Structure 1
Amino acid sequence: MEFGILGPVSVRARGAEMRLDGEKQRTVLAALLIAEGSFFPDAELSWFLWGDRPPATHTAQIYNYVSRLRRTLGPEVGIIRRPHGYLMRIGAASFDLLRFRDLAGQGQSAILAGKYEEAGDLLRDALTLWRGPVLANVSEHLAGSEGPPLEEARISVLAGRVEADLAVGRHPQVLPELTRLVAQYPLHERFRAQLMTALYRCDRQAEALALYDHGRRLLGDELGVAPGPLLREIHRAILASDPCLHRPLDQWH
Structure 2
Amino acid sequence: MRQGALLAMLVLRANVVVPADTLREAIWGESPPESVSTQIRICISRLRREFARLGAEHMIETHPSGYRLRVPQNGSDLREFENLLARGRDAADEERPRDAARLTRKALDLWRGPAASGLESRVVQMYAAKANEDRAAAYEELFDLELRLGQHRKILGELFEHSEQQPYGERLCAQLMLALYRSDRQAEVLEMYRGLRGRLRREIGLEPCYRLSLLYDMILTHNERLESRSPWSVDSSRPALMG
Q: Offset of 1:51 from its aligned partner?
A: 0.3
Normalised to the residue count of structure 2, the TM-score between the two structures is 0.84
Contact 2:9–2:124 (8 Å) recurs in 1: no
Is 1:249 aligned to residue 227 of structure 2?
A: no
Identity fraction in percent: 32
Contact 2:12–2:128 (8 Å) recurs in 1: no
Q: Match of 2:48?
A: 70
Is 1:34 aligned to residue 12 of structure 2?
A: yes
Contact 1:48–1:139 (8 Å) recurs in 2: no
- Which structure has more RCO (C-alpha within 8 Å, separation ≥ 6)? 1
Q: Match of 1:17?
A: none
Match of 1:52 among 30, 34, 41: 30
RMSD across aligned C-alpha pairs, in angstroms?
A: 2.2
Q: Match of 2:137?
A: 156
Distance in 2 separating the partners of 1:198 and 1:69: 46
Deviation string 1:196-247 (CA, Å, 9 cap, x unpaired) is 1112222333432332122111111222221112211211222332222231
| Count of residues paired in the alignment | 231
Structure 1's unaligned 5+ residue stretches are 1-22
Contact 2:148–2:230 (8 Å) recurs in 1: yes
Distance in 1 separating the partners of 2:13 and 2:163: 33
Which consecutive segments of 4 or more residues in structure 1 shift more than 4 A?
A: none
Match of 1:211 among 164, 172, 192: 192
Contact 1:219–1:227 (8 Å) recurs in 2: yes
More strand by percentage: 1
Match of 1:135 among 85, 97, 116: 116
Contact 1:49–1:141 (8 Å) recurs in 2: no
Contact 2:215–2:231 (8 Å) recurs in 1: no
Q: Offset of 1:91 from its aligned partner?
A: 4.6
Normalised to the residue count of structure 1, the TM-score between the two structures is 0.81
Q: Counterparts in 2 of 1:94-243, with a 5 A limit?
A: 94-136=75-117, 138=119, 140-243=121-224
Contact 2:116–2:125 (8 Å) recurs in 1: no
Which is further off, 162-171 or 26-35? 26-35
Distance in 1 separating the partners of 2:231 and 2:220: 17
Which is further off, 160-169 or 131-140? 131-140
